[in-house]
Structure 1
Amino acid sequence: MTFTTAHDRAQSSAAAHQTGQMDAAAAARWLLRFAELTAEASAELTRLDTAIGDGDHGAVLVSGTAAIVERLGTDVPTTPRDVLAEGARAFQTAAGGAGGALYSAYFHGLSENAPPATVLDSRQLASLLHLAAKSVAERGRALPGDKTMLDVLAPAADTFHAAALAGSNVRQCALLSLRAALIGRAATAPMLARRGRASYLGERSRDHVDPGAASSALLFHALADALSTLPPPHTRSKENPVSTPPRHLFNSPSDVIDDALEGLVASNRTRLARDAAVNVVTRAVPAKDKVGLVSGGGSGHEPLHAGFVGTGMLDAAVCGAVFASPTAHQIHAGTVRADSGAGVLHIVKNYTGDVLNFEIAATLAEEDGIVVESVIVDDDLASDGNDGPGRRGTGAVVVVEKVCGALAEAGLPLSEVADAGRRVVSRSRSLALALSACTHPGADAPAFELGENEVEFGVGIHGERGTARIPFAEADELVEQLVAPLVDDLDIASGASVIAIVNGLGGTSPLELNVAAAHVHRTLAERGITVARALTGSLVTSLDMHGVSVTLTVCDDDILRAWDAPVRTPALTW
């Protein structure tokens, strides 16, 4: 890849601008303008995503576009293809979550299909926009009409293409495609979400603009701006400080993950080590000659996952931003560190961003000669029956990590460890409710508001709303509404045995959790179900959400043997 000087860029860009084409400088202006617009709209993107998702979309987009600014800097590659490739690399390495994976796919689709020419005409760019949208559709397994970013990318690309065929130059095409993008953005509001976390809300996902569609509209806004004007690329400060609400014990929202992991490792120096460059937590003394276990996801669920690194559980935990999956680059780094020659098992909670980025990381690891298998944890009953991504992964991930960790420690091969994990998943279900929402670091309001006598039922672990609102009641009545559906769905008969986990979601006191546990044990005993093993505590949290989840795993002698095997981690030891 070669780079141009500022003088060369100015001359070539002026010529391309006059003929209505896209050169490298215009491509750079597009990406840098997208970074500016993303920074300006970050709070709005967060608000939109908080309403129907997990609230991470603004932060993910800022991380990805900040990396674009850093990569382009003052030197711009000589072709649009190479500029767009920098966009793909920026999102792949710096932006987690589904947004990071999907924007990486978009820019990859643009750059991989672009010719090595110094300028692109309108028809060439129209073809690239179509192929990039197709890349997103394939990566996200979505279609237009599913209430996703495709509801902007597809019509905007279609409009650009039609204008190009009519003889319009790239500037004119971009302006027309912007109009189509804005119409597509607005059209997502009445749609029923069929993909991503919003799909778990069912009818409650209507009347909200999709955050991915909103950011995609910014992408076409940036394209129109870049091709309609000829300013030098404008950079922005990497810092985007947000005041922290006083009720959080944070120094800065931007530093909270680094500070927390530093504290965790400092408090467990004989057990844990950390690679701060990729936020991977590993065992202080790596294990040898065993299957490596890697899990991870967005932060905000502590002690999951880093608190479960150690003998008898994980070899590495990969920590993303709050409620945003880690990048494929981070997961790949964790996989390499966990490998001791016997292969690596990825334990993945079923969320779009986690699944996408773990899939990419597994491919990268296999190119390195590391054999990888994956267990997808999808135990959340509230999201069952969804025709989108399926059930979410929640509390059962603790059981999977414990059982698989014991079997790996005992020297079982990768295929058997993976099969055991999948068996645990198939025998596990979870359900949760919240009395109040969590507040994202840097936010000045909780993710959702509840009335005085309302309870959010069917919540996940990312601050998102649940599937219904139910009346507030005494603890026994509320907990019964969690336990009864789990027993029915798992078809647990009298005489069966279970592992029962009563889990706090972050803001629930131990006193309350023990009250909830009392009813779990009573109601299961009344049904003739034996609680063979139990855990009560805050294990899989959602920041400071005041709520509780119940997980039941139907167990047998094999599962109990693995559950009872020794474990030594910061959050679980026996």
Structure 2
Amino acid sequence: MKKFMNVAASMVAESLEGFVSAHDRVVVFGPGRKFIRRRHLTPGKVAIISGGGAGHEPMHVGFVGHGMLDAACTGHIFTSPTPDQIIAAIEETDTGAGCLLIVKNYDGDIMNFEMAAEAVIGRHRIETVIASDDVAAQGAARSSGRRGVAGTLIVEKILGAAAEAGMNLAGLKALGERLSTQIRTMGVALSGVTVPDTARATFTLEPDEMEVGVGIHGEPGLFRQKITDADTIASMICSTILADMELQNSDRALLLVNGFGGTPTPELYLIYNVARRLFEVSGIRIVRSLVGTYVTSLDMAGLSVTLSLFDEEALRLWDEPVLTAALQWGRHDQR
């Protein structure tokens, strides 16, 4: 295993220190370096807090800033942040309107965020939204039901924008629950993940194999098969997503093609082009797009496709300004 690191035990802490140093216009460490928060908190705004294990960067720390997260808590690689980290983030960022916790549907994340919320009852108003967009849910490791994967980015952006606009805690909770019915993701991989602590891959594939339905913690997928051409792979992903969705009252959507850390950008755009064509043939209008490496699994060679149906409210909130390390658009407060 070759990694740019000193020792595995300090890799996450050293990486976070570099992240804050590189983006100190936008973020700072919270007390005790237990979490990262936006540099400028807004009094009277609901605080949006998320987090998870390291190894998924830029999620979640890269989404801290104006129009998105107020704080992100990072655990060890592929390990949930501890309750005391989450409690510290709540105490620091609640400026009077309460906190909304956005939690990916993994057992460890659910347990630790619930413990933190219970610990602050009486001092803070807390609501929770569970991100659960992975269509490869049957038999999935580490979670009960759908895992929270790349679609978490969309939930964080839309709820962050709504909070920035002044939506109250109850409204944000309701909006988050509606979003969960409108976002679906599926991932495939050409290699496993090399975890620094163990120095070995989470699963191995033959040169002509791919893993279908992978998660973002290096979990094996639902099955493996011979690798085929991009058109066939994209068709399999898109048909699986469409079979799992109800188009409801909207045919407009955001298409996100996300790299897992080891996939070249040209390959992501190639899959995007095929997926967009397939979805549009099915009667879905792609009105917004995002292509890049946003929700990773360390060095996994692979990608995921996310389709998020958009009503007028979701489209407006997606377009609202955002200033984070990983996402930036529109006119925003740059204090």
Q: TM-score, normalised by structure 2?
A: 0.95
Q: CA deviation at 1:394?
A: 0.5
Residue 376 of structure 1, aligned match among 113, 130, 146: 130
Q: CA deviation at 1:535?
A: 0.4
In the other structure, the counterpart of 2:310 is 555
Find the aligned partners of 1:567 and 1:305 in 2 and give their Cα distance.
15
Find the aligned partners of 1:530 and 1:298 in 2 and give their Cα distance.
34
Residue 473 of structure 1, aligned match among 228, 235, 248: 228
Task: Give the residue type in structure 2 aligned to 1:568.
Answer: L
- Of 273-282 and 449-458, deviating more is 273-282
In the other structure, the counterpart of 2:45 is 290
Find the aligned partners of 1:452 and 1:494 in 2 and give their Cα distance.
44
Residue 365 of structure 1, aligned match among 93, 112, 120: 120
In the other structure, the counterpart of 2:9 is 254
CA contact (8 A) 1:278 1:333 kept: no
Cα shift readout 1:128-147 (whole Å, capped 9, x = no counterpart): xxxxxxxxxxxxxxxxxxxx
Find the aligned partners of 2:107 and 2:218 in 1 and give their Cα distance.
16
Task: Give the residue type in structure 1 aligned to 2:104.
Answer: K
Find the aligned partners of 2:221 and 2:163 in 1 and give their Cα distance.
35
Matches within 5 A, 1:211-222: none
Specify whether residues 521 and 339 from structure 1 end up closer, same or farther in structure 2 by C-alpha distance, changes over 3 A only: same
Find the aligned partners of 2:98 and 2:138 in 1 and give their Cα distance.
32
Q: CA deviation at 1:385?
A: 7.4
Cα shift readout 1:170-216 (whole Å, capped 9, x = no counterpart): xxxxxxxxxxxxxxxxxxxxxxxxxxxxxxxxxxxxxxxxxxxxxxx
In the other structure, the counterpart of 2:332 is none
Task: Give the residue type in structure 2 aligned to 1:503.
Answer: N
Find the aligned partners of 1:552 and 1:333 in 2 and give their Cα distance.
34
Q: CA deviation at 1:529?
A: 1.1
Q: CA deviation at 1:493?
A: 8.0
Residue 56 of structure 2, aligned match among 287, 298, 301: 301
CA contact (8 A) 2:30 2:92 kept: no
Unaligned runs of 5+ in 1: 1-244
In the other structure, the counterpart of 1:263 is 18
Looking at both structures, which has the greater relative contact order when contacts are Cα pairs under 8 Å and sequence separation is at least 6? 2
Residue 444 of structure 1, aligned match among 191, 194, 199: 199
Task: Give the residue type in structure 2 aligned to 1:379.
Answer: D
Specify whether residues 412 and 495 from structure 1 end up closer, same or farther in structure 2 by C-alpha distance, changes over 3 A only: closer
Task: Give the residue type in structure 1 aligned to 2:293.
Answer: S
Specify whether residues 300 and 486 from structure 1 end up closer, same or farther in structure 2 by C-alpha distance, changes over 3 A only: same
Is it true that 1:536 corresponds to 2:263 in the alignment? no
Q: CA deviation at 1:275?
A: 3.1
Find the aligned partners of 2:31 and 2:209 in 1 and give their Cα distance.
42
Find the aligned partners of 2:32 and 2:221 in 1 and give their Cα distance.
35
SS at match of 1:314: coil
SS at match of 1:383: coil
Specify whether residues 469 and 494 from structure 1 end up closer, same or farther in structure 2 by C-alpha distance, changes over 3 A only: farther
In the other structure, the counterpart of 1:281 is 36
Q: CA deviation at 1:451?
A: 1.1
Residue 101 of structure 2, aligned match among 316, 339, 346: 346
Find the aligned partners of 1:487 and 1:450 in 2 and give their Cα distance.
28
CA contact (8 A) 2:250 2:309 kept: no
User: Which one has the largest radius of gyration?
Assistant: 1
Q: CA deviation at 1:491?
A: 3.0
Q: CA deviation at 1:443?
A: 2.8
SS at match of 2:25: coil
Is it true that 1:461 corresponds to 2:195 in the alignment? no
Find the aligned partners of 1:519 and 1:492 in 2 and give their Cα distance.
20
SS at match of 1:381: coil
Residue 403 of structure 1, aligned match among 128, 148, 158: 158
Q: TM-score, normalised by structure 1?
A: 0.56
Q: CA deviation at 1:276?
A: 6.8
In the other structure, the counterpart of 2:262 is 507
Find the aligned partners of 1:386 and 1:543 in 2 and give their Cα distance.
19
Unaligned runs of 5+ in 2: 330-335
In the other structure, the counterpart of 1:488 is 243
Find the aligned partners of 1:337 and 1:480 in 2 and give their Cα distance.
46
SS at match of 1:273: strand
CA contact (8 A) 1:495 1:528 kept: no
Q: CA deviation at 1:287?
A: 1.9
Task: Give the residue type in structure 2 aligned to 1:269.
Answer: D
Residue 272 of structure 1, aligned match among 19, 27, 30: 27
Between the two proteins, what is the percent identity of the paired residues?
41
Task: Tell me the C-alpha RMSD between the 2 structures.
Answer: 1.6
CA contact (8 A) 2:250 2:310 kept: no
CA contact (8 A) 2:140 2:222 kept: no
CA contact (8 A) 2:185 2:305 kept: yes
Specify whether residues 430 and 363 from structure 1 end up closer, same or farther in structure 2 by C-alpha distance, changes over 3 A only: same
Task: Give the residue type in structure 1 aligned to 2:10.
Answer: D
Task: Give the residue type in structure 1 aligned to 2:124.
Answer: I
Q: CA deviation at 1:543?
A: 0.4
Task: Give the residue type in structure 1 aligned to 2:107.
Answer: T
CA contact (8 A) 1:494 1:528 kept: no
In the other structure, the counterpart of 2:181 is 426
Find the aligned partners of 1:278 and 1:484 in 2 and give their Cα distance.
44
Find the aligned partners of 1:422 and 1:491 in 2 and give their Cα distance.
15
Specify whether residues 284 and 494 from structure 1 end up closer, same or farther in structure 2 by C-alpha distance, changes over 3 A only: closer
Find the aligned partners of 2:249 and 2:113 in 1 and give their Cα distance.
39
CA contact (8 A) 2:250 2:311 kept: no
SS at match of 2:200: coil
CA contact (8 A) 1:279 1:320 kept: no
CA contact (8 A) 1:258 1:276 kept: no
Specify whether residues 401 and 493 from structure 1 end up closer, same or farther in structure 2 by C-alpha distance, changes over 3 A only: closer
CA contact (8 A) 1:506 1:541 kept: yes
Find the aligned partners of 1:288 and 1:493 in 2 and give their Cα distance.
37
Q: CA deviation at 1:442?
A: 3.5
Higher strand share: 2
